[in-house]
């Protein structure tokens, strides 16, 4: 089978197309034939070595996919060959097929097609835990979401508006802001032409936001803290511009007794019960049309390097898929 592997961490050119043997499932495992593979910024972190591969080198990147079960190992009783499944899990999805723990696979309802599933498992469950668990958004609250036109951002705008929040986003162009406004945002700030802190204060009559969700990192810190009301929460869940470093925790007191958290999806879906509950909530809002999914870019599997260049160059909107 064909697979994209990283033999040495580095730039997009580190993504190499290899032919490797098809593995056989061991106890508790399933072999999944991918029909669609999700692209996420965490894939870049593994490729560059910012996040070390848990299996060493070489490794297959990719943390999200959908497909069909081809075989199951000993002890797997709730899945069978032919079942449609999807997952967000450990690296290994940039391949025509993969082995994965059956406990990490989520059966797909008829209302969710494979490409939608591959676009939402990591990004959609991230949106779920951010809005419904890390900080439970309630009617009347005001939120700020950076990267509003990204895969998580577009889902978050629709979902948060449905929850009754006033939703402010930031994006890097007028075109991306227009897209955000079409996907639930009440306001979107082009951070290349406007000071987003000043604009947030204007939009909130100086009160600030209840919560800021930030996947950008270095470039938006500490300005994001200045967008919060007293005792507001800063949720930093990504490092698209580089990690936040050298933080003086005293700044949280100075800016209004703020809360800060650095969550990851896998802490919220650590048990199978939590995984299925998170996925069920996501599937419900997608199936009911509350959150519409935009797959705006697709690349053949062998063009994974081009997909990474587009992602890192902030040239993508919505979800991006690799197709084996």
- Shared domain check, 41 and 87: yes
For every one of its 324 residues, what pLDDT tens digit does the chain have, with 9 covering 90 and above? 999 999 999 999 999 999 999 999 999 999 999 999 999 989 999 999 999 999 999 999 999 999 999 999 999 999 999 999 999 999 999 999 999 999 999 999 999 999 999 999 999 999 999 999 999 999 999 999 999 998 899 999 999 999 999 999 999 999 999 999 999 999 999 999 999 999 999 999 999 999 999 999 999 999 999 999 999 999 999 988 888 988 899 999 999 999 999 999 999 999 999 999 999 999 999 999 999 998 999 999 999 999 999 999 988 888 899 999
- Shared domain check, 243 and 184: yes
Look at residues 239, 208, 241 and name the one whose alpha carbon lies nearest to residue 225. Answer: 208
Q: How many CB atoms lie within 10 A of CB 193?
A: 10
Domain that holds residue 204: 139-262
Let me know: does 319 contact 119? Beta carbons within 8 Å. yes
Residue listed under structure tokens 């509950």 = 277
Look at residues 109, 25, 22, 117 and name the one whose alpha carbon lies nearest to residue 67. Answer: 117
Q: Which residues contact 244 (CB under 8 A, 6 or more apart)?
A: 217, 218, 221, 236
Phi, psi of 59 (to 5 degrees): -140, 160
- Shared domain check, 152 and 114: no
The structural domain count of the chain equals 2
- Determine whether 19 is exposed, middle or buried from the number of CB atoms within 10 Å of its CB (0-12, 13-18, 19+): exposed
- Shared domain check, 107 and 12: yes
- Shared domain check, 146 and 114: no
Per the domain annotation, does 128 fall within a domain?
Answer: no
* pTM of the complete model: 0.91
Per the domain annotation, does 112 fall within a domain?
Answer: yes
- Shared domain check, 106 and 40: yes
Compute CA 52 distance to the chain's CA centroid, rounded to the nearest angstrom: 19
Structure tokens belonging to residue 172:
């890097």
Which of 228, 262, 296 is the last residue in one of the domains? 262
pLDDT given for residue 103 in this prediction:
96
What angle, rounded to 10 degrees, do the helices at 151-162 and 114-129 form? Answer: 60
């Amino acid at each position: 089978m064909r697979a994209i592997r990283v033999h040495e961490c580095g730039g997009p050119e580190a993504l190499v197309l290899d032919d490797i043997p098809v593995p056989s499932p061991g106890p508790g495992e399933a072999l999944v034939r991918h029909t669609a593979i999700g692209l996420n910024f965490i894939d870049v972190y593994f490729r560059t070595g910012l996040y070390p591969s848990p299996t060493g080198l070489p490794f297959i990147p990719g943390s999200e996919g959908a497909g069909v079960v081809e075989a199951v190992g000993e002890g797997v009783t709730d899945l069978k060959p032919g079942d449609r499944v999807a997952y967000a899990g450990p690296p290994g999805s940039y391949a025509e097929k993969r082995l994965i723990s059956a406990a990490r696979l989520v059966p797909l309802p008829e209302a969710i097609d494979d490409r939608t599933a591959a676009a939402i498992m990591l990004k959609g469950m991230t949106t779920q835990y951010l809005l419904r668990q890390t900080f439970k958004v309630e009617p009347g609250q005001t939120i700020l979401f950076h990267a509003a036109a990204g895969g998580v951002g577009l889902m978050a705008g629709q979902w948060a508006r449905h929850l009754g929040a006033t939703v402010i986003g930031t994006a890097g162009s007028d075109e991306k802001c227009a897209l955000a406004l079409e996907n639930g945002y009440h306001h979107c700030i082009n951070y290349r032409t406007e000071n987003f802190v000043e604009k947030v204060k204007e939009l909130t009559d100086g009160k600030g936001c209840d919560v800021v969700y930030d996947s950008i990192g270095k470039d938006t810190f500490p300005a994001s803290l200045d967008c919060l009301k007293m005792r507001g929460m800063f949720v930093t869940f990504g490092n698209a511009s580089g990690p936040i470093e050298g933080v003086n925790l005293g700044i949280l007191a100075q800016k209004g007794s703020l809360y800060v958290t650095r969550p990851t999806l896998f802490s919220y879906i650590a048990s199978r019960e939590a995984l299925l509950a998170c996925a069920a909530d996501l599937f419900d809002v997608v199936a009911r049309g509350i959150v519409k999914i935009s797959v705006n870019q697709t690349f053949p599997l062998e063009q994974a390097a081009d997909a990474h260049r587009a992602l890192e160059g902030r040239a993508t909107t919505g979800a991006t898929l690799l197709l084996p």
